[in-house]
Amino acid sequence: QAELRNSQLEKEALRAAQAGLAAAKQNAEVALQHLLRVTTSSRASIRQLLSGAESLQLIADLLKSIDRISEVSEDGQ
């Protein structure tokens, strides 16, 4: 009887371990999907930031040009 009880306990422990492993696997899959979404979103944000920085640089260059043009105009008058 003791051996039967031990076998039953081992069987229950194995089932619990399998259930825990399945839950861990499912959690890992959910985490992976979330990580992939965050990565995609981060890349899009970085592209937007770079585009914005390029636009700001263009505006700064235009403002410098306007400054130079107005200096030349003042010197020419």
In tens, the pLDDT along 18-45 reads 999 999 999 999 999 999 999 999 999 9
- Please state, for a pLDDT cut of 90, what percent of the chain lies above it: 79
Amino acid at the residue 48? Q
Distance CA 77, CA 69 (A): 12
Q: Which of 62, 42, 69, 66 is nearest to 77 (CA)?
A: 69
Structure token digits, residue 10: 């081992």
Residue 12's pLDDT is 95
67: phi then psi, degrees, rounded to nearest 5: -60, -45
pTM: predicted TM-score of the whole model, two decimal places: 0.60
Residue 67's pLDDT is 78
Structure token digits, residue 45: 């944000």
